[in-house]
């Protein structure tokens, strides 16, 4: 039961990150060109590192836990 709860928690963290990222992207696209110029956005390599940290590695952990539960 603890593994299933851990899996659910990890999936919630990933989902929250993806929603936050999508909201940030929408907000940036909704800005006027002048505001975009002054606000800037995160460089692509920062986004890639965030993706690895918040999505890819946690989902690998979920796959490992699921493999342990259902061999």
Q: Tell me what the mean pLDDT of segment 47-53 comes to.
A: 95
- Split into its structural domains, the chain has a count of 1
pLDDT at 2: 81
Closest CA to 22 of 59, 2, 47, 40: 47
For residue 59, is pLDDT > 90? yes
Over its C-alpha atoms, the chain yields an Rg (Å, rounded) of 17
**Could you list the residue range(s) of the whole structural domain that residue 25 is in?**
2-69
pLDDT at 21: 95
pLDDT at 1: 64
Cα(22)–Cα(63) distance, integer angstroms: 24
pLDDT at 41: 82
Q: The tokens of 30 are what?
A: 């909704």
4-48 confidence digits (pLDDT tens): 899 999 999 999 999 999 999 999 999 999 898 888 888 889 999
Helix, strand, coil proportions of the chain in percent (round to 5)?
Answer: 85, 0, 15
């Amino acid at each position: 039961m603890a593994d299933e709860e851990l899996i659910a928690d990890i999936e919630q963290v990933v989902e929250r990150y993806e929603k936050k990222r999508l909201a940030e992207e929408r907000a940036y696209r909704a800005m006027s060109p002048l505001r975009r110029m002054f606000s800037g956005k995160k460089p692509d390599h920062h986004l890639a590192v965030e993706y690895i940290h918040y999505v890819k590695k946690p989902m690998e952990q979920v796959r490992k836990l699921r493999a342990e539960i259902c061999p």
